[in-house]
Amino acid sequence: MGNNGMKSQARVVVIGGGVVGVSALYHLAKKGWGDDVVLLEKAELTSGSTWHAAGLLPLFNMSYSVGQVHKYSVKLYRELEEETGQPVGFSQVGNLRLAMNDDRMDEYYQYAATAKTIGIDVRFLTPAEILKLWPMCNVEGLVGGIFHPDDGYIQPADLTQALAKGARARGATIYRKTAVLDIEQTSSGGWLVRTDKGDITCDHVISATGNYARQTGAMVGLDIPVIPVEHQYIVTEPHPELVRRRESGEPEMGVLRESDGSWYLREENGGFILGPYEKGAPCCYVDGPDPRAEYELFQEDIDRLAPHIEAAMSRVPAFAEVGIKQVYNGAIAYTPDGNPIIGPAWDLDNFWLSEGHSFGITAAGGAGWQLAEWIVEGEPTIDMLGVEPRRFGDYATRNYLIEKNEEAYANVFVIHYPDEERPAGRPLRTAPCYERMKEMGAVFGQKFGWERTNFFATDGMAQEDDWSFRRSKWFEAVRKEVTNTTENVGLLDMTAFAKCRISGPGAEQFLDRFVANSLPKKVGGLTLAHALNKNGGIHSEFTIRREAEDAFYLVSAGALQRLDHDYIRRYMPKDGSVQFTQLTGAMGVLVVAGPKSRQLLQRVTNADLSNEALPWLTAQDIVVGMAPVNAMRVNYVGELGWELHHPLEYQNHIFDALFEAGADLGLKPFGIRAMDSMRFEKSYRMVGTELSIEYSAFESAMDRFIKADKGEFLGRDALLASRDAGINNLLVTLEVSDVEDADALGNNALTKDGEIIGRATGGGFGFRVGKSLALGMVKPEFAEPGTEVDIEILGKTYNATVVAESPFDPKNERLRDVGSANE
Ligand SMILES: Cc1cc2nc3c(=O)[nH]c(=O)nc-3n(C[C@H](O)[C@H](O)[C@H](O)COP(=O)(O)OP(=O)(O)OC[C@H]3O[C@@H](n4cnc5c(N)ncnc54)[C@H](O)[C@@H]3O)c2cc1C
């Protein structure tokens, strides 16, 4: 055969025989592709990171996507032994997380909200209840804890073998000792995978190569944002009390996690396993492991473990009474935010990634499930934004990854505040006005590598953030920014927006079929339009300016640059009739908004900015000072205003011109948090929360942006079919009563008479209406304004009332500027 007996063709080739790759193979086989899927492993199954994992299956995760993925895995693993006959060693001992302070409890409450809405069983415990579950625990200094009865730990190698058995039983093929050396695109759009045993052509490739992710990526020109970090755990000698408990048939104690001490502990053969997440753990395999590496461990570093060993000893005194049997120090794959990347690679067709897994034993099941859905059905079925490979961009270079991945590892157990911003690798991408903003008191956050102002510290306030699950110091700063913007005029730097141009003779036809709204007919017209997925859910949101008959300027969320632009590229005709031009780094954006914004702008431009000359939802090329500007009359805060898009090099000229002209008008800068507060008052949705592929565009109540009768567009048929079948959810705006110091953060359970009827997708305080607001998805029968529901915020239940959309200025009079005299 010339191919060492190996198949020469397959529908899918999975590279990597760790638990993640084998699970992908298993799920593809389960979808009916068994006879046509092949897995290639250069050594033995599990010989990468999988064999030495501690096997914990924590359901806990702050991300909605990861929560869903983990939940699926735990359920699957429970059933796998029965299905395959291969024991997987699932010990469902439960999982106990301790809290040593109130902020940690807030984190657990916020997590529990997500858990509740996705159906994960989590219980709150007092210190006395903790003692009952974990009699060897010293509960001093604890304020409480949470318990997951459904998770525990598993034997990773056995799990992998069970998945392999299940895959083989459905016809899938596994070639061990077969190394992939190179991958080439074939002229027919498929892939040629070259191995040391021969070549295979296939339609799809899945890269699940663990610590080799960057080397595999390099074969196809991808810079994959994964570099592993060293991770250790300690196995101890047996302890008499644990042995006694075992012998007397007492139940095994659950996996114990002291988040504030950054370690976990579980029983193992009458002794303990202690796993810390240390500070200072270095990245490893920065330029890849040795291609021949298998079952590789590093020299242990006891000094790094010491503080965690001490913390564990004081929490579980018995731990001090046992000797260390062995220390495992292995590579654990990481990404800058600690979540894996699962889904399509960017800029390539049919190349899939399931890489960067730091909880790969836990995530493998769900990752394989969604990848198989995506590949076989064309779309995932859950919102995968939190694990999207395209959530990172070009900025995630090798040296950035070293800093960020070490930081992500060291921060696994920190309190995951909703407004947390991490310092490593910053500042990296800065707009020209960055220094000016800083001098004005800007407190920055980072999105997609860009520094963006979250808020301004003024009037003697320390120029630093104050993270919390509740209203904190920046609440008053944001109030001032909103007040000034709504009374005078504010300026917001939105240079981080993703921008591009779609042009060419086929541009109009392509875009018209790509988005659900009608395109602006007139040159200079603006519209908000959505690209749906094939199932009619919302994938991307664009502001589109028609620049010419055959050219359109598209703006979308900065954090989604790679995702949105890759999505465009996937659907663009390949015949050269449409061109894509990346403009993100070339164009800056300053938003000027507020009732005096026209007056201000009119002082620095000769262009006529009147309602007649430049109405709401139109754009014009104007000159500000001496700089060319594309002035688009839209904004995300609901005031009269313009987004001033300009070639980046003019930014400070424009910035200075505005501030020189605006002093007596009260021009002041505002930040992202003020913008966010104002968007809730306008019921403006955001991709990733209110807009998601899990909800149809009608469920997100985007009807006015859907032109179902304009002809074919992406997702149209499925969207209409879903409406005809009856929608399951509807987006509502909620007014939350009697909150004291905390607003909804999103993922809060919405209940009626104790039954879950929906979830809040986001929330905050609306300073212009003086109310705590939330947006949420509810069953349609609860969507009528006036309906009263309950909302859970940080463990407390509040009354919330459904209100009409856009509590602030529902008729958009401010945006339209009706009635006010033109300057
Ligand atoms: C000390 C330690 C403890 C851990 N504990 C836990 C835990 O308790 N719970 C948990 O969920 N996770 C844990 N993890 C993480 C877990 O081990 C990983 O997330 C998981 O094993 C990743 O699986 P994988 O399949 O992605 O990678 P791997 O298991 O590394 O598999 C990748 C495979 O790809 C193969 N490969 C690479 N390149 C090629 C090529 N070119 N051709 C062919 N084959 C190739 C490799 O040989 C390897 O077998 C732990 C990790 C460490 C280091």
Q: Verify whether ligand 1 is closer than 6 Å to residue 212 (CB atom).
A: yes
Q: Report, as an integer, the average pLDDT of 721-728.
A: 95
* Phi, psi (deg, nearest 5) at residue 242: -65, -40
218 lines ligand 1 (CB under 6 A): no
pLDDT at 257 over 60: yes
Q: What is the pLDDT of residues 586-613, one digit of tens each?
A: 999 999 999 999 999 999 999 999 999 9
Which of 114-118, 534-538, 791-795 is predicted with the least confidence, judged by mean pLDDT? 114-118
Asked if residue 266 has its Cβ within 6 Å of ligand 1, the reply is: no
State the pLDDT at residue 599.
Answer: 97
Measured distance CA(470)–CA(107) in Å, rounded: 11
* Integer Cα distance of 285 and 267 in angstroms: 31
Question: Rounded to 5 degrees, what angle do the CA atoms 706, 709, 714 make?
Answer: 60
Neighbours of 549 (CB within 10 A): 10
C-beta of 360 in contact with ligand 1 (< 6 A): yes
Distance 39 CA to ligand 1 centre (A): 15
Tell me the CA–centroid distance for residue 559 and ligand 1, in Å. Answer: 28
For ligand 1, whether the C-beta of 210 sits within 6 Å is: yes
The angle at the Cα of 201, spanning 196 to 202, to the nearest 5 degrees, equals 125
What number does the ligand 1 atom closest to the CA of 153 have? 8
Say whether pLDDT at 649 is over 60.
Answer: yes
Tens digits of residue pLDDT in 669-713: 999 999 999 999 999 999 999 999 999 999 999 999 999 999 999
For helices 19-28 and 156-169, give the axis angle rounded to 10 degrees: 20
Establish whether residue 362 lines the binding site of ligand 1, counting it when its CB lies within 6 angstroms of any ligand atom: yes
Quote the tokens at residue 761.
Answer: 């997708």
Q: Are 283 and 406 in contact (CB under 8 A)?
A: yes
Average pLDDT over residues 379-385: 94
| pLDDT mean over 444-450 | 98
* Ligand 1 binding pocket includes 180 (Cβ within 6 Å): yes
Output phi, psi for 51, to 5 deg.
-60, -35
Question: How far apart are the CA of 46 and the centre of ligand 1, in A?
Answer: 7
Q: Span 562-584, mean pLDDT?
A: 97
Does any ligand 1 atom lie closer than 6 A to the CB of residue 367? no
Least confident of 36-40, 65-69, 816-820: 816-820
Predicted TM-score (pTM) of this structure = 0.96
3-class secondary-structure state, position 725:
helix
Residue 142 identity: L
C-beta of residue 316 within 8 angstroms of C-beta of residue 265:
yes
360-377 and 64-84 helices, crossing angle to 10°: 90
DSSP letter at 518 equals P
Q: What is the mean pLDDT of residues 213-225?
A: 98
The whole-number pLDDT of residue 61 equals 83
Q: Please give the full DSSP string across 84-129, using - where no structure is assigned.
A: HS-----B---EEEEESSHHHHHHHHHHHHHHHHHT---EEE-HHH
What local confidence, expressed as pLDDT, does residue 117 receive?
86
Question: Ligand 1 centroid to 227 CA: how many Å?
Answer: 12
Which of 45, 49, 70 to mutate to test ligand 1, by most ligand atoms within 8 A of the CB atom? Answer: 49
Query: From the CB of residue 491, how many other CB atoms can be counted at a distance below 10 Å?
Result: 26
Q: Are 729 and 778 in contact (CB under 8 A)?
A: yes
Q: Is 342 in the pocket of ligand 1 (CB under 6 A)?
A: no
pLDDT digits (tens, 9 = 90+) for 295-338: 889 999 999 999 999 999 999 999 999 999 999 999 999 999 99
Nearest CA to ligand 1 atom 26: 210
Q: Which amino acid is at 724?
A: D
Per-residue pLDDT at 2: 56
Which residue owns the Cα nearest ligand 1 atom 37? 209
What atom in ligand 1 is closest to the CA of residue 294?
Answer: 47
User: H-helix or E-strand containing 765?
Assistant: strand 755-766
Q: Report pLDDT digits (tens) over 42-77.
A: 999 999 999 989 899 988 888 888 889 999 999 999
The residue-averaged pLDDT of 223-227 equals 98
Residue of 14, 50, 265, 353 to test ligand 1 pocket, by largest number of atoms within 8 Å of CB: 50
Q: What is the mean pLDDT of the chain?
A: 96
Contact by Cβ (8 Å): 146, 254: no
Report the sign of the C-alpha dihedral through residues 456, 462, 468, 474, in that order: negative
346, 562 contact by CB (below 8 A): yes
The percent of residues in the chain predicted with pLDDT above 90, rounded, is 95
The Å distance, Cα 360 to ligand 1 centre, comes to 7
- String of DSSP letters for 279-308: TTPPB--TT---TT--S------HHHHHHH
Query: Is it the case that residue 1 has pLDDT exceeding 80?
Result: no
Using the atom order of ligand 1, give the atom closest to the CA of residue 43. 47
Q: Is the CB of 357 under 6 A from ligand 1?
A: yes
Distance from residue 26's CA to the centre of ligand 1 (Å): 17
57 C-alpha to ligand 1 centroid (Å)? 15
Best CA proximity match to 38, nearest among 182, 158, 199: 199
734, 759 contact by CB (below 8 A): no
Q: Could you give the maximum distance between any two Cα atoms of the chain, in Å? A: 88
Our answer on whether the CB atom of 402 is closer than 6 Å to any ligand 1 atom is no
- Residue 21, ligand 1, Cβ within 6 A: yes
Taking the CA of residue 20 as reference, the ligand 1 atom at the shortest distance is 25
Cα–Cα distance, 817 to 779 (Å, whole number): 35
* Cα-trace Rg, the chain: 27
- The contacts of residue 234 (CB under 8 Å, 6+ apart) are 272, 273, 274, 275, 305, 309, 324, 326, 327, 328
Any ligand 1 atom below 6 A from CB of 361:
yes
- Which atom of ligand 1 is least distant from the CA of 362? 11
pLDDT tens digits, 474-527: 999 999 999 999 999 999 999 999 999 999 999 999 999 999 999 999 999 999
pLDDT of residue 293: 80
Cα 158 from chain centroid? 31
State mean pLDDT over 433-450. Answer: 98
CA 278 distance to own-chain centroid = 24
Report the pLDDT value the prediction gives residue 822, as an integer from 0 to 100: 39
CA of 303 to the centre of ligand 1 (A): 25
Residue 379 has pLDDT above 90, yes or no: yes
The minimum-distance atom of ligand 1 relative to the CA of 354 is 26
At residue 823, does pLDDT exceed 50?
no
> Is the CB of 66 inside a 6 Å radius of any atom of ligand 1?
no
For atom 25 of ligand 1, the residue with the nearest CA is: 18
Residue ranges in 229-289 assigned as alpha helix (H): 240-247
